Chain A
Amino acid sequence: MSKANIYAIENPVTHQPGWIGSRVQEGSENTASPYATVGNIAVPNPRMSARSVNVFYDEKQAINNVSLDIGLNEVISMIGPSGCGKSTFLRCLNRMNDTIDICRVEGEITLQDENIYSKSMDAVLLRARVGMVFQKPNPFPKSIYDNIAYGPKIHGLARSRSELNEIVETSLAKAGLWDEVKDRLTKPGTGLSGGQQQRLCIARAIAVSPEVILMDEPCSALDPIATARVEELIDELRQNYTIAIVTHSMQQAARVSQRTAYFHLGNLVEVGETNDIFTNPKHPLTEAYITGRFG
């Protein structure tokens, strides 16, 4: 058991919840979960924290009583087979699920101790604080400059043209794209290569200075070289941002993240230090998945 796991549970193999987990589950009405999360869902200094989150699409439950903290300046990866709810959970963190009519979210998710599902929280402003990068690169059919300037303009972050120019330049520089595109800022963003488009989307997300960046399989549409470049970028961004990344590639999770959460059929099965999860999985399902017995 890792030293960092200060709240570690005594006997994970019997699926007895640790004390944080048990307190959450006592408070929740939903006790149908066949799994109690193995490992330590909490961190000492969470940027975001989810407690007893249930998500329903109409009557169908997609997420079952998931509690998870996302620590400051850490990269947490969420892995699991297709349909396990990891993307749905990610989309709860910036309320992107609000745009789906039939989707219903229960439970509590906080960002810096503010409940993001409370009435006083504006979902639109929340999304400026919790940015998102999508599976497929989706630059706007506008110029590279306008792609980056879109967010700052909407939120009034720049008072002058020169400030806006600066935001665009620093965002592109942080995304490692500035040198490649500085001579073609007026060309359409859709004309870039797939990897460049994805980094453009990351730059677009950083341009509004979010606190957290959510990435939903950001490399699944990219070739290995572009993937390596994006992974490098994620590691650099960790200095300033908190990142939650959903990925299908376990190697990627191992390379970029400090903590890993394993989802299975809407349940958070196991969470822990990435190294521990991959070298010493506690739950049989996690072990089966990372050793490739299903997936």
Chain B
Amino acid sequence: MDNFFIVGGVVLLVLMLLTLYRAIIGPTAIDRLMAVNVIGTKTTVLLIIIGMLFNWVDMFVDIALAYALLNFIVTIATSRYFQHHKNLSPIGFGIRHRKEGARK
């Protein structure tokens, strides 16, 4: 059964890396935030699997619980920060003010 959990954890990790691709290419800041949120939820599962493999679940399950709470708070806080942000694409940050006149 341990082998099964190792294989499952590795597959989970590979899929999380695929999701990380979306977090890297964007294109907007909230796309990245969404990918990071999904990765965080899956990290909770991965932490419990790691606890099973180390035969130390009773400690890792507390860490996983705290991680789930923290992940939720991070998502809420960051999306609050980007609320009403008019320029979400990465080209916009900073450059927009300089090119404002030139675009017209």
User: A and B from one assembly?
Assistant: no
Q: What is the interface of chain B, defined by CB distance below 8 A to chain A?
A: none
